[in-house]
């Protein structure tokens, strides 16, 4: 188990045509307001439990001369936020959201002072605490993760082109082209940031030693496609993070003269269970059960997600937060019908009562027939004979009734015992049948797996982590072959994926 969170990072920022409106945040360090060097490089190794890395891309107003980019304001606020979170020892989603709202208000104040609403800034931040992480972003600055030689995009651009692609109006290739002229749909400095609260947080994830994260502004991604970035990553598999950052920066410089910033950081060690268990080892664990209404916290970064999820506990280092279910009081009927044994017991009592009623009715009818038969068989005679016979019947009736009552009591007792035995046998048989049926259903479900309907913000990465508690390239390839889909394809909301047992994918 790791004893400390060790991360080394290299950050590059290059000025475009005029002043550099970008900024970089490397765990407490960022570009000063009066810094306007053509190229800046920051390298830093940190061993603190909570670390933050971010990039910003500010937008200036036409004809307005500022002493500093709006992104500087964002970085100043970010530094204050890290001080607060470090004292807490955890990453609180509520406090991060409060920070975003306060920063948005400060940039709105700059807009009023300049008389223009064009003063805005994107933001892409990576918050890492012990062995848990979360990504926060607005705009088209991006965050990638590299694991096992494969690169995955965590964030999703807040652009009009992205919305058109989601609606099916344009293809993914067309969206990449329209991205260059597309307006952002979410930035710091927007009119009402509360409209995008559900879009700024990624899902929480576990990160491992050896993971590499790339955070960059659109100056990089507008010039270098995801495929090109991944080729550089794979070609530089044994190279340092400095090499990756320098190669991507040089490729971007050759294609545009925009401001561009990039941070490449590598996790060397973590605090918590993630340090002792590599992602590949997690695949050998037992296949997890299907998730409930909402997934519990994910075990790794969500690819191409950038969507909100349930927040982890405040300490940020223990188990991820689970969805809180509403505890509803069960009604009496719920308790009865939800308990098979109780149902069979009640049915048994009802059967016994019905049998007793039938038995008493039969005995009563037999008595009435006997009385009626004695009366009808008597010939009409003298009053004396009638009186004598009546007297004899009255004398003999108590003895006969006593005998009948005893016989009736014995029959009732025997019938009750027989009914109880039958009810108990039926109950036992029903329970055994139900247990066998339940086992058959469970085995059938385990053999057939389950299905999952893709929701907004889902990705292959997040789905694999949800159901198998791990991600690897082999697992992704096997999963996609099972569902007859391409690993590099895009998930659409409403798609139905088969979730087989882990044994079928190994």
Q: Report pLDDT digits (tens) over 399-419.
A: 454 455 455 545 555 555 555
The residue with greater pLDDT, 459 or 313, is 459
Nearest to 254 by CA among 265, 244, 263, 246: 246
Residues 50 and 84 sit within 8 Å (Cβ to Cβ): no
The answer to whether 36 and 20 are in contact (CB under 8 A) is yes
> 28 — alpha (psi -120 to 50), left (phi > 0) or beta?
left
Which tokens go with 360? 């008493």
465 band by pLDDT with thresholds 50, 70 and 90: confident
CATH number at residue 251: 3.60.40.10
Crossing angle of the two packed helices 340-376 and 383-448, in degrees rounded to 10: 160
CB atoms within 10 A of CB 359: 17
Average pLDDT of span 101-109: 94
Residue 349 lies in a domain: no
HSE at residue 273, side-chain half, CA atoms within 13 A, is 11
CA atoms of 301 and 204, how far apart (whole Å): 7
β 29-30/120-121 pair status: unpaired
pLDDT of residue 436: 56
Pure H helices in 377-452: 383-448
Q: pLDDT tens digit string along 48-77?
A: 999 999 999 988 765 555 666 788 899 999
Task: Give the pLDDT score at 432.
Answer: 58
**Pick from 141-150, 163-172, 222-231, 238-247: least confident:** 163-172
Confidence category of residue 209, pLDDT binned at 50, 70, 90: very high
Q: Which two tokens stand for residue 216?
A: 């960059």
Cβ atoms of residues 83 and 51 within 8 Å? no
Specify if 486 maps to a domain: no
Q: Is residue 248 part of a domain?
A: yes
Percent of the chain scored above 70 by pLDDT?
66
Residue 434's pLDDT is what? 59
Q: Tokens for 411, please give them.
A: 């029959």
Q: Domain tally for the chain?
A: 1
pLDDT for the residue 386: 46
**Residue at 425 is within a domain:** no
pLDDT, average across residues 335-348: 66
How far apart CA 494 and CA 233 sit, in angstroms, is: 32
Return mean pLDDT, the chain.
Answer: 75
DSSP type of residue 155: -
C-alpha 185/C-alpha 162 separation (Å) is: 9
Question: In whole angstroms, what is the distance from residue 209 CA to residue 54 CA?
Answer: 20
* Residue range 88-109: mean pLDDT, rounded: 95
Q: Is residue 142 part of a domain?
A: yes
The average pLDDT across 208-215 equals 94
The H or E element containing residue 129 is strand 123-129
CB 44 within 8 A of CB 94: no
**C-alpha distances out from residue 343 to 26, 115, 291, 339, 348, Å:** 65, 74, 30, 6, 9
Alpha helix segments (H runs only) across 89-198: 93-114, 160-166, 172-178
- N-term to C-term CA, the chain: 27
Q: Are strands 39-46 and 29-30 parallel, antiparallel or unpaired?
A: unpaired
Measuring CA to CA, which residue among 395, 404, 399, 402 is closest to residue 370?
A: 404
Whole-angstrom CA distances from 352 to 50, 346, 347 are 69, 10, 9
Q: What would the two tokens of residue 382 be?
A: 């003298």
Least confident of 5-14, 163-172, 234-243, 322-331: 322-331
Range of the domain at 265: 6-282
Q: Is residue 504 part of a domain?
A: no
Is there a domain that residue 428 lies in? no
Q: Is 70 exceeded by the pLDDT of residue 17?
A: yes
Q: What's residue 326's pLDDT?
A: 35
Judged against a pLDDT cut of 90, whether residue 261 lies above it is answered with yes
pLDDT at residue 71, rounded to an integer = 87
- Report in angstroms the alpha-carbon separations of 192 from 104, 159, 234: 9, 16, 41
How many angstroms separate the CA atoms of 179 and 177, rounded? Answer: 5
Mean pLDDT of 14-23: 85
Residue 414: phi and psi, rounded to 5, are: -65, -40
In-domain check, residue 250: yes
């Amino acid at each position: 188990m790791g004893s400390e969170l060790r991360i080394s990072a290299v950050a590059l920022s290059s000025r475009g045509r005029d002043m550099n409106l970008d900024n970089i945040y490397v765990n407490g360090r960022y570009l000063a307001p009066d810094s306007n060097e053509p190229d800046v490089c920051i390298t830093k190794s940190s061993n603190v439990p909570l670390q933050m890395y971010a990039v910003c891309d500010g937008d200036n107003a036409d004809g307005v001369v500022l002493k500093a980019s709006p992104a500087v304001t964002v970085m100043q606020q970010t530094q204050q936020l890290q001080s607060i979170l470090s004292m807490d020892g955890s990453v609180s989603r509520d406090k991060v959201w409060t920070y975003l709202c306060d920063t948005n208000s400060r940039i709105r104040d700059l807009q009023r002072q300049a008389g223009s609403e064009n003063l805005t800034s994107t933001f892409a931040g990576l918050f890492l605490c012990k062995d848990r992480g979360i990504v926060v972003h607005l705009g088209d600055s991006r965050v990638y993760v590299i694991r096992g030689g494969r690169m995955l995009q965590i964030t999703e651009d807040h652009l009009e082109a992205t919305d058109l692609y989601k609606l099916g109006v344009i293809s993914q290739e067309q969206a990449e082209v329209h991205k260059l002229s597309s307006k952002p749909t979410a930035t710091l400095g927007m009119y009402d940031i509360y409209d995008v609260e559900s879009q700024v947080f990624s899902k929480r994830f576990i990160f491992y030693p050896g993971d590499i994260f790339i955070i960059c502004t659109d100056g990089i991604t507008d010039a270098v496609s995801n495929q090109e970035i991944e080729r550089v990553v794979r070609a530089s598999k044994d190279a340092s993070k400095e090499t990756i950052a320098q190669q991507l920066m040089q490729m971007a410089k050759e294609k545009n003269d925009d401001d561009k910033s990039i941070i490449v950081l590598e996790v060397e060690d973590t605090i918590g269970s993630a340090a002792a268990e590599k992602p590949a080892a997690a695949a050998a664990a037992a296949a997890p059960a299907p998730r409930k209404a909402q997934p519990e916290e994910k075990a790794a970064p969500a690819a191409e997600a950038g969507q909100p999820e349930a927040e982890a506990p405040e300490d940020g280092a223990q188990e991820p937060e689970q969805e809180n279910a509403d505890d509803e009081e069960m009604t009496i009927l719920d308790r009865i019908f939800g308990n098979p044994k109780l149902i069979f017991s009640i049915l048994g009592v009802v059967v016994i009562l019905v049998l007793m009623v039938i038995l008493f009715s039969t005995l009563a009818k037999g008595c009435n027939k006997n009385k009626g038969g004695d009366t009808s068989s008597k010939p009409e005679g003298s009053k004396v004979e009638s009186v004598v016979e009546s007297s004899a019947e009255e004398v003999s009736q108590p003895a006969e009734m006593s005998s009948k009552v005893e016989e009736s009591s014995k029959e009732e007792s025997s019938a009750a015992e027989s009914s109880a035995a039958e009810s108990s046998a039926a109950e036992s048989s029903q329970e055994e049948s139900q247990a066998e049926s339940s086992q058959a259903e469970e085995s059938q479900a385990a053999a057939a797996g389950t299905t999952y309907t893709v929701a907004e913000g889902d990705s292959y990465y997040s789905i694999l982590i949800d159901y198998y508690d791990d991600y690897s390239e082999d697992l992704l390839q096997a999963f996609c072959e099972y569902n007859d889909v391409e690993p590099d394809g895009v998930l659409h909301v409403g798609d139905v994926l088969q979730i087989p047992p882990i044994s079928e994918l190994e």
